[in-house]
Every structure is written in structure tokens, then in C-alpha cells.
């Protein structure tokens, strides 16, 4: 089984898009997408310097455009699984058929500008914590008043929050770990991005998504999401939620992924997969010269979703704000029936049932007793088999 991955912010390099302009129609495509994104994508990908392409307001649409431009030259109909890291999820959603490419580019432009504006409200940042025992690292991050913004697997967790708290974490790292400050504008994927989440949520009513025709793995929890509406809800929420790339890679392993293609600007996700999933064949598409290798990988590992049995992952989400109370008779490993009430959300107006919309096994609680939850928040993960 083959997965195609779209990288996120931080993977860009000056001039990385230049070789792609030699492909027929590429320059015209970039001009059109630039109008939708509100950024000159051709200039950013070919002439802009390193500092300019780290600008959050500009970079996100550039990354989505580069991934989609390369994917147009691959036989994507034989790709079973897609996933993207952070802003790369917008590109992955387009590859899965949830968003039109034009919608993904436009949303990336809005998302980048909204997140850049949120970064300007107060001094925040991010730092990579490398090594250490994961649970201890997360505890140390939270104990410092920070958020685990990215859990990337392979011994890498990114802390985010106030600059002063990050400086203390750098000075006193968790046991067995080292902390490396990142050159970013602010605390992405934390509550500090709430204004950006609200701006994107205001656009949601105008989006008409399609249901994914490939297995789309969500950054929120690694789940395979099967409705376009839920994908869009998750894309919006992901602005303030931790990127669980570790769980995306776990899902790839459970699905039986044997090969991955990373779209440009490639390298970051391929490195994480190489360490976390040894034995998986990897092609990094950095220039058009790599397309032949990528097509060969598709020919050897590709296959349409549903061509063979594969694990399915679904999440149960809440429909109201309040405190989650799981059914005490259920535990991880319990069999769940479609329509079964697995708990409720206690609100000021009373209790709201939380119902599973699919059958399977309760593989993981994503919220626990009395946790505060928001509408659309994933509460439990259900696994099963596609037949």
C-alpha cells in the first residue's frame, strides 16, 4: 500500500520551485493560484530569500501549491493513503478529493495570514525537544506552562508558548533531552492561534467538501476520516490543536503501508518515516527528475482504496460544549455498535448523548471523565475492518 505525504511549514528552501517551472503549464497554473492565494507564488518559490519564505503569511500557500503542482504529474488514482503535516493537510485534502485545488490554495492563503496576525498579538515561539522519554518530555513541557504543539515521533516533540517559558525550558531541558529553539513567528497549534481558528471557522459555511476517495489520515489523532464535512472541521480545529504526526505514522503501519512518496519540498517527513517505520520504501520528490522514481513506486506499491481489506479508523465527536462523561461500562477494547451511546456531554442545559455512528472496537478514549470538550472535538477512536 502506498501513501503520499504533503510537508508543512519549515520544509521550504529558497528556489526549490524553480525546476518545476519547466513543466508544461506550470507557470500559468502558478499565476492562477497566486491570484487565489494573495501571494506571488512564482516569485516566492524561485527568487525569494530564506527570510521571506519563512513568513507565515506567505509560506503556507506556497507549500500547498508546490505539493499539488507535483501531484498533477503522478498517477494519483493508484494512491491509497494521503496525509499532510500541518499546512500540508490542505494539500492532502485536495489530493483526497475533499477540496478543489483552488479551495485548498485559497484556504492556505487565509490560514497563513490569520496565523501570522495571531502571532503578532504577543511574543510566543517554539522549540524542538529532541530525545528523552516521551511522556516525561510532555510532562516537562506542560509543567513549564507550554504546549506540546507537534508530536512528530522519532524522538521529536515541539514545545510552544511564551518566549520566557521557552527560554527556561532551553536552560533546563527534560532528562535525556536537548532543546533547540526554532525560528518561527509564534506558537502554532496552540490556543494562542484561537483568532486564526475563529477566522477559518467563519469561512466553513462557504465550503462544499466532497467525501474523500482515498484514506485521509488526520493530524488530530491519526484517524482515517471518511466524510468531507469532518475533514473540514478537523482542518479548522488543527490550527489550535497539537499535530499528532506520531499517530499518523502509527496508522500507516496499521494500514500496512509499504511505500511513501513525499511531495516537494521533500525531506522532513521522509526522515521521520524512515526512523519510525523501518523497511518502508521512500521516494522524495524534490525536482521533476524524481517523478520517474515516484511513478515506479506507484506501479509497484499502488492500488486503489478498497482493493483489499484494510483497517478503518473512525472517531466519535461531541456535538456540544461541556464536560465529557464516558459510559463507565466501556473500556478500550470494548465492542461498539453503530448507534450505541458511549457517554454524554454535561452542559448547562442538561446531558447530550454521544453516539457512535459506526461499529467496531473502542481502540482509544481521546477525552476522559470530566474533561472539558468543545463541539466537534474527537472523544473516542473506533477501529474496525473494511470489507
- The residues that are catalytic are 86, 189
CA distances from 56 to 39, 60, 116, 117, 251 (A): 11, 6, 6, 9, 29
Amino acid at each position: 500500500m502506498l501513501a503520499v505525504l504533503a510537508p508543512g511549514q519549515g520544509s521550504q528552501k529558497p528556489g526549490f520551485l524553480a525546476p518545476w517551472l519547466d513543466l508544461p503549464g506550470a507557470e500559468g497554473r502558478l499565476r492562477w493560484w497566486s491570484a487565489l492565494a494573495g501571494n506571488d507564488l512564482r516569485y516566492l518559490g524561485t527568487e525569494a530569500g530564506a527570510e521571506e519564505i519563512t513568513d507565515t503569511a506567505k509560506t503556507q500557500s506556497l507549500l500547498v501549491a508546490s505539493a499539488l503542482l507535483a501531484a498533477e504529474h503522478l498517477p494519483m488514482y493508484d494512491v491509497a493513503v494521503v496525509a499532510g503535516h500541518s499546512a500540508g493537510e490542505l494539500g492532502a485534502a485536495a489530493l483526497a478529493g475533499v477540496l478543489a485545488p483552488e479551495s485548498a490554495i485559497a484556504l492556505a492563503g487565509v490560514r497563513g495570514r490569520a496565523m501570522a496576525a495571531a502571532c503578532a498579538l504577543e511574543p510566543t515561539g517554539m522549540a524542538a525537544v529532541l530525545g528523552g522519554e516521551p511522556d516525561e518530555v510532555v510532562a516537562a513541557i506542560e509543567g513549564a506552562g507550554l504546549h506540546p504543539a507537534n508530536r512528530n515521533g522519532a524522538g521529536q516533540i515541539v514545545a510552544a508558548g511564551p518566549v520566557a517559558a521557552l527560554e527556561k525550558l532551553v536552560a533546563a531541558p527534560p532528562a535525556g533531552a536537548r532543546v533547540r529553539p526554532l525560528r518561527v513567528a509564534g506558537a502554532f497549534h496552540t490556543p494562542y492561534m484561537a483568532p486564526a481558528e475563529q477566522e477559518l471557522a467563519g469561512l466553513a459555511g462557504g465550503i462544499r467538501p466532497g467525501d474523500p476517495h482515498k484514506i485521509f489520515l488526520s493530524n488530530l489523532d491519526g484517524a482515517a476520516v471518511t466524510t468531507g464535512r469532518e475533514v473540514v472541521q478537523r482542518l479548522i480545529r488543527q490550527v489550535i490543536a497539537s499535530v499528532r504526526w506520531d499517530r499518523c505514522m502509527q496508522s500507516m503501519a496499521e494500514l500496512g503501508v509499504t511505500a511513501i512518496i513525499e511531495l516537494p519540498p521533500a525531506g522532513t517527513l521522509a526522515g521521520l518515516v524512515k526512523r519510525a517505520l523501518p523497511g518502508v520504501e521512500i521516494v522524495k520528490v524534490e525536482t521533476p527528475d524524481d517523478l520517474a522514481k515516484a511513478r515506479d513506486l506507484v506501479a509497484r506499491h499502488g492500488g486503489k482504496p478498497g482493493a483489499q481489506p484494510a483497517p478503518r479508523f473512525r472517531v466519535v465527536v461531541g456535538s456540544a460544549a461541556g464536560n465529557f462523561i464516558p459510559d463507565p461500562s466501556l473500556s478500550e477494547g470494548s465492542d461498539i455498535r453503530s448507534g450505541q451511546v458511549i457517554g454524554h456531554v454535561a452542559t448547562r442545559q442538561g446531558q447530550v448523548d454521544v453516539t457512535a455512528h459506526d461499529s467496531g472496537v473502542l481502540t482509544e478514549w481521546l477525552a476522559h471523565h470530566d474533561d472539558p470538550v468543545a463541539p466537534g472535538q474527537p472523544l473516542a477512536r473506533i477501529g474496525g475492518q473494511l470489507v
